[in-house]
A and B are shown apart, each in its own frame.
Chain A
Amino acid sequence: MPGLLSRDVHLPERTLASHYDVIVIGGGGHGLATAYYLAKDHGVRNVAVLERSYIGSGGTGRNTTVLRANYKTPETIKFYKASFDLYRTLSAELDYHTLRSERGLLWMAHSEAQANSQRERALQNQVYDVDTVYLNAAEVHEVCPQLDMSCGGRRPIWGAAYHLPGGIIRHDAVVWGYATAASRLGVQVHQGVPVTGMVMEKGRCTGVRTPSGVISAGAVVSAVGGYVTQITDMVGLKIPIITHPLQAFVTQSYQPVLDRVVASADLHIYVSQSARGEMLVGAEIDPYTSYSTRSTFTFAASTAARAIDLFPFMAKLRLLRQWTGICDMTPDYSPLLGPTPIDGFYLSTGWGTWGFKAIPIGGKAMAELVATKRVPEIIAPLGLDRFALDRCVSERASAGTH
């Protein structure tokens, strides 16, 4: 293992081969983690990640980095908790500092009905060993004195589900940590290589087309975030995904004032302060489907107003930067991953507005699936067949947009 100061964080230049055991399309967190765990857990090292732009250029480099496991269904609480636990030790695992920090995450209720639902959520979390408790208004104030408990006089805070280990991490570090650790194990990460078509032989997927030619593969994993429909169209597979933009913004840097992550069920926003002092604000998806990553003034204005309702001191801050990513949304707001009816073709999608926190477990489970050809128990409920069988894993309220 190279020393701290001499460590090579650049990806080695490699030439594209004409065959790999596994090709992963998409160098976001899920693609890179899948490649890493293929090499690390299963010794499958003849693997290429093909990224058409630069690694982390998709949702993984644009998200608001909230890590939490406070979901609502038994299937997803287990799934996200497994991911959370992998994140806990990720810096050591990858030998890469990911700046993870546990902040305590408040999910606020502004009515009796919401309070009951957050109470229920806390109890459901406790059943699965996820540390969430219900706090009344006075306790919320104590945990986060910066909050305006009346929310601008319009939406008094009744209480909150308080998820103690919830927090944030550095997203670029997750991307680069997985990419460099995977390439140390022999995985090839190719940037600037778009997949433009798929090679099908007798109904089986046997490789991909790129501008530099056809590359054959024993298995192909699609992990392209909001662009998934372009890949599934190439193999003639229909999946229940629509692509919505999601925006966020940060203010200029200020002294540390907020050490919690605060989300509101009613205002549809969440706020945290980054390690370098920027106040980070996220909100709901854009109301129409789109592949455009252009940000809108409507979003900045309406989201800023709601942030100020929660934190009046934010009225004096300056907005520094606003951006947009595109999200692969499923009907039930749960991920969609596993094998497909097409032999040799695997899908890691449905990460929507919630998939960054799932990168470690998503990658680990996909790697196990591809290496062993068996669907790991933890992702069995999240397959493509669930929709037609009326077995949706409904998480709309808990997926929120972070």
Chain B
Amino acid sequence: MTLKLTCPNCGPRYTTEFWFGGEPVPRATPAAPGVDALRADFERVWLRTNVAGVQSERWFHHAGCRRWLVTERDTRTNVFHGHG
């Protein structure tokens, strides 16, 4: 089974047309350099929910409209909600 994802611009396509962008990363809030800033960066860049359930995530349609889309997918079954 190859996953299918519905692009709001292009319609249903195989996920092999997309790059997976993972869970959305919060925007950086500038902090003074130092250990606290390193910790804040670490948390922002690397800590994810990694949920076994419905996950909000980004995909980039590189072989189509070349736009990012945000969708929801159940990581236990790979069934897309949202745009899926």
Contacts and interface: CB of A to CB of B under 8 A. Distances in A.
Interface stretch (A23-31, A59-67, A236-244, A255-263): A236-244
Contact of A241 (B15, B19, B50): B50
A372 B45 CA distance: 34
Contacts of B49: 229
A53 interface: no
B55 A289 contact: yes
B47 to A, nearest CB: 5
A298 B52 contact: no
B46 A291 contact: no
B75 A289 contact: yes
Nearest to B42: A388
Interface in B42-66: 42-43, 45-52, 55, 57
In the A-B complex, the 10 residue pairs with the smallest Cβ-Cβ separation, listed nearest first, are A240-B46, A388-B42, A229-B50, A288-B20, A388-B39, A298-B2, A291-B52, A238-B47, A287-B20, A387-B42
Nearest to A387: B42
A352 B42 CA distance: 19
Contacts of A288: 3, 15, 20, 57, 73
Contacts of B20: 287-289
A241 B46 CA distance: 8
Given A288-B15, A389-B35, 8 more contacts: A229-B51, A238-B47, A243-B52, A243-B75, A287-B15, A289-B75, A291-B76, A296-B2
Given A240-B42, A287-B19, A230 B1 contact: no
B38 A389 contact: yes
A240 B45 CA distance: 9
B46 A297 contact: no
B47 A290 contact: no
A295 B20 CA distance: 18
B46 A298 contact: no
Contact of A240 (B1, B3, B47, B75): B47
A331 B51 CA distance: 17
Contacts of B9: none
Interface string A359-392: 0000000000000000000000000000111100
Contacts of A240: 42, 46-48
A176 interface: no
A24 B16 CA distance: 39
Contact of B77 (A287, A292, A297): A292
Interface string A216-259: 00000000000101100000001111110000000000000000
A344 B6 CA distance: 46
A50 B30 CA distance: 44
A290 B46 contact: no
Contacts of B38: 388-390
